[in-house]
A and B are shown apart, each in its own frame.
Chain A
Amino acid sequence: MKDDLPLALIAVFVPFSLVSIGGGTSIVAGIQHQAVDVHHWLTAREFLDMFAISRAAPGPGSMLTTLVGWQVMGWTGAIIATLALFVPSSLLCYGVAMIWRRYRGQRWHTALEKGLTPVGLGLVLAGVVSILRINGGGVLSWGVALGSAALMSWRPRLHPLLVFALGGAVFVVARAIADGRLAL
């Protein structure tokens, strides 16, 4: 049985690699179903914890996959799951990127580029809204996001981590004030 685990991890994550259009968040529900309901690798509670950790960790949110692999098989599992998620889509992307760059300047390429760029930007904007919604800060989240954008446009060399720390501080103070008001 245990010999099949690496294969099972690959069989679960490779398809997710190729259907995860629009980034990691679109496949979370599918991974949960496979890992919790189908394979019983983790309990629902453990999965939620892993999800929370992957959101707190830096980098692409897809580190959730790494954590599931780690729960199943330790270091080996973490590496197998990560590669299974990133290698197939990366190979595809590499091939497309080569074609994409080779034909730059041709009419069909210019049309594709001009036509798809606004769609790509629209998707980034949609992603912004969904992150701010999960974030749960409402107007405050938008205020901090816009403020940080303004600050970093104005001073491009200002280190983003400084701006992030400022955002964190604003939230801590705002929540403390809100809690104080509730306590009264």
Chain B
Amino acid sequence: MSAPSSRPSIGAIFSVFFRIGLLSFGGGVTGWVFREVVTLRHWIEEDEFMSGLAMSQILPGTNISNLTIYLGQRLRGPLGAVVALAALLCGPFFAALALASGYSVLKALRCSDAAMDGIAAAAIGLLLIVIGRGARRLSTDFAAMAALLATFVSVGLLHWSLPLTAVVVGTISVLLAWSRTKPDEG
């Protein structure tokens, strides 16, 4: 979509990832990143995002920190990766310590439980958007849809081992994709 010349400044990377870190409640962080980096700013294209998402899910480490490293590096090399990760973590770092310091006060405010649960559920909506966009790209590819479903059922419903699932389904899925990819063209 946008030319590579529109690559963002280090300051812009910091401010976007700082905001993502601080505002992402309830586990929808990947969805926030997609919204800020792809939907709103077009810093990278959707299929490059999905490619990095797959990589960050499979490598060890927090998915979101891996995705941040991938994007930071893609946008601005080593410095971009370091700045993006530092920006992502520094907000939550202080927020968690502040919450821990005031925990006894928080505990008294039990009525906030329902609100927190509702916020978390709404935050999931951001993740569902990423899944919907990704699945739509795959929808013509039967093998890919089967791999998506197999992974989900194994880990999400049957609670089988995540690494084992990733290795087994991943291997089959990659081999199928290999067999249908043309030998290196230009």
Point out residues on A near B: beta carbons under 8 Å. 17-24, 26, 49-50, 53-54, 56-63, 66-67, 70, 78, 82, 85-86, 88-90, 92-94, 96-98, 100-101, 104, 106-108, 110-132, 135-137, 140-142, 144-153, 156-157, 160-161, 163-172, 174-176
Chain B interface mostly: helix
Contact, CB under 8 Å: B144 / A94: no
Which chain B residues border A82 with CB–CB below 8 Å? 89, 93
**CA A114 to CA B62, docked complex, whole Å:** 22
Which residues of chain B come closer than 8 Å to A146, judged between CB atoms? 125, 128
Shortest CB-to-CB span from A41 to chain B, Å, is 14
Verify B117–A122 contact, CB threshold 8 A: no
Q: Determine the distance from Cα of A131 to Cα of B50 in the docked complex, in whole angstroms.
A: 21
A146-B125, A153-B132 given. 20 additional CB < 8 A pairs? A19-B60, A21-B60, A53-B99, A56-B106, A58-B25, A59-B21, A59-B95, A63-B96, A100-B52, A119-B58, A128-B128, A141-B121, A147-B125, A148-B124, A149-B126, A149-B128, A151-B125, A160-B123, A167-B118, A174-B114
CB of B131 closer than 8 Å to a CB of A: yes
21 contacting pairs across A/B (C-beta < 8 A) = A54-B96, A57-B92, A66-B96, A86-B65, A94-B81, A100-B52, A115-B176, A116-B55, A117-B51, A119-B57, A120-B50, A121-B54, A121-B134, A122-B148, A126-B155, A128-B124, A129-B152, A141-B121, A144-B118, A145-B124, A148-B122
Is there a chain A Cβ closer than 8 Å to B69's Cβ? yes
Q: Which of A22, A23, A131, A153 contacts B120 (CB 8 A)?
A: A131
Which single member of B53, B78, B93, B103 contacts A49 (CB below 8 Å)? B103
- Give which listed residue, B73, B93, B103, B134, contacts A117 with CB less than 8 A: B134
Contact residues of A: prevailing secondary structure: helix
CB-CB < 8 A to A100: which residues of B?
51-52, 55, 70
Minimum CB–CB distance for B140 against chain A, Å:
12
CB distance from B117 to the nearest CB of A (A): 5
- Is the pair A140, B162 in contact by a Cβ cutoff of 8 Å? no
Is B149 on the interface with A (CB-CB < 8 A)? yes
**Chain B interface residue bracket vs A:** 35 or more
B73 touches A98 (CB 8 A): yes
Given A58-B24, A117-B51, A157-B40, A137–B174 Cβ distance below 8 Å? no
A152 to chain B: which residues have CB within 8 Å? Answer: 35, 125-126, 129
Give B64-87 interface residues, CB cut-off 8 Å to A: 64-66, 69-70, 73-74, 78, 81, 85
Complex Cα gap A151–B62 (Å) = 28
